[in-house]
A and B are shown apart, each in its own frame.
Chain A
Amino acid sequence: MNLILIFISAAIINNYVLVSFLGICPFIGVSKKLGSAVSMGMATTFVMTITAAVAWLLNKYILIGLHLEFLQIVSFILVIASLVQLVEMFIKKVSRPLYDALGIFLPLITTNCAILGLALFLVMKQYNFIESIVFGFASGVGFTLALVIMAGIREELELADVPAPFRGAPITLIVAGCLALAFMGFSGLI
């Protein structure tokens, strides 16, 4: 039950993009086409789930174990960067079609602040190992959800007559504002 609550809370109520403002760059950059939005979402969910597990172990046994908590930021970012590289090599070897589908999006994930944010939230919320993995997976699902909704709207937006100064990023942000308004409706769910 607790795990389900964590899942709903991370995926919908505290949606990373629309409520916590994490991962806005890919949200604006990769939401033009539905297909690439789905690939990016999948890649991010994958890396987030693994990051949650690794960051939890790292924090518990190395950083807290050796009283090196002040190295959190440096060590998390290094772990994420090498993890993304590792995941990329692994997928390339194991599943060529998946690798081709994710393509350029994998390396880009390193600079997605949602991943580092996830690692920092984990430490703050003091989840146990299983809860952390569920939290990481749910965050990824929430990110994918926001990205896919946005991509769907933007495909329609191509046909709309937007005033010239508002084309591109501004109208995307304004649409995101309306989406955030809708997601605020979930805030009383739990």
Chain B
Amino acid sequence: MAKSKISMAQEFAKGLWKENPILRMVLGTCPTLAVTTSAINGVSMGLAVIFTLVMSSLIISLLRKIIPNEVRIATFIVVIATFVTVADRTIAAYYPEISKSLGPFIPLIVVNCIVLARQEAFASKNPVGRSVIDALGMSVGFTLVLLVMGSFRELMGNGTVFAHQIMPLSFQPWMAIALQPGAFLTLGFMIGLSNWIIAKGKRV
């Protein structure tokens, strides 16, 4: 296997930029667009995905030799749904206001393509340690994008980041960025920018 040659550190780092799930593979766009109205929402969503992805990768990787090939997708979904339920109930119990502002998007992690894609493409074929590192890298990469997007939209729409006032008080909030159109525009420009940086890196 050619893949096992790359080190654990590279396995982790590839999720941050080179194979970033949102910017490079355009997976999991629904929660990205929906929850990044503020930095704190973006980060809470990211943490929920880190938990779900790492735990499901761990379990799927452990079970990879006994899951029959025909029912693997169904098995992945049940394992993922279990951890999503745990995350959903925990957030609802300890942080009710975050749970309220994220709405149905915590339960919707079940059908987040990133989680399922990592099980199918990685955890079901690789040993436990490597799968967990891969899951961690991917979900941290996801969280970073949410953090950047959430901070930008909160800054533009409200003049704050993590509820700290950044812009001068005379700043006129740019409401459209905090509302739905801004989500599409911000993500579109971020993906375009990352394409541009990569294309530029190749030319040099």
Contacts and interface: CB of A to CB of B under 8 A. Distances in A.
Interface of A: 18-25, 28, 70-74, 77-78, 81, 111-113, 116-117, 120-121, 124, 163-166, 169-174, 176-178, 180-181, 183-184
Given A112-B111, A116-B107, A24 B185 contact: no
User: Which 6 interchain pairs have the tightest Cβ spacing?
Assistant: A173-B188, A177-B184, A165-B195, A170-B192, A174-B188, A177-B185
B74 A81 contact: yes
B104 A121 contact: yes
Contact of B192 (A25, A166, A180, A183): A166
Contacts of A22: 30, 34, 108
Nearest to B28: A25
A166 B195 contact: yes
Interface in B159-189: 176, 179-185, 187-189
Main secondary structure of the interface of B (DSSP, over half): helix
A44 B30 CA distance: 17
Contacts of B110: 73, 77, 116
Contacts of B77: 77-78, 81
Contacts of A25: 27, 29-30, 113
A180 B181 contact: yes
A183 B187 CA distance: 19
B98 interface: no
Contact of A24 (B29, B189, B195): B29
Given A24-B33, A111-B113, A173 B180 contact: no
B181 A184 contact: yes
Given A70-B85, A173-B184, A111 B111 contact: yes
B82 interface: yes
Main secondary structure of the interface of A (DSSP, over half): helix
Given A165-B196, A166-B188, A166-B195, 4 more contacts: A21-B31, A70-B89, A169-B26, A170-B189
B193 interface: yes
A124 B104 CA distance: 9
B8 to A, nearest CB: 30
A122 to B, nearest CB: 11
B180 A74 contact: no
Interface in B38-72: none
A114 to B, nearest CB: 8
A73 B107 contact: yes
A20 B52 CA distance: 23
18 contacts: A19-B180, A24-B29, A72-B107, A74-B82, A74-B85, A77-B110, A117-B104, A165-B192, A165-B199, A166-B192, A166-B195, A169-B191, A170-B195, A173-B29, A173-B184, A173-B187, A177-B182, A177-B188
Contacts of A20: 34
B38 to A, nearest CB: 15
A23 B181 contact: no
Contacts of B191: 169-170, 173
Contacts of B179: 184
A165 B200 CA distance: 10
A180 B180 contact: yes
A152 to B, nearest CB: 17
User: Among the interface residues B108, B111, B181, which one has the most CB atoms of the partner chain A within 10 A?
Assistant: B111
B30 A73 contact: no
Contacts of B74: 78, 81
A76 to B, nearest CB: 8
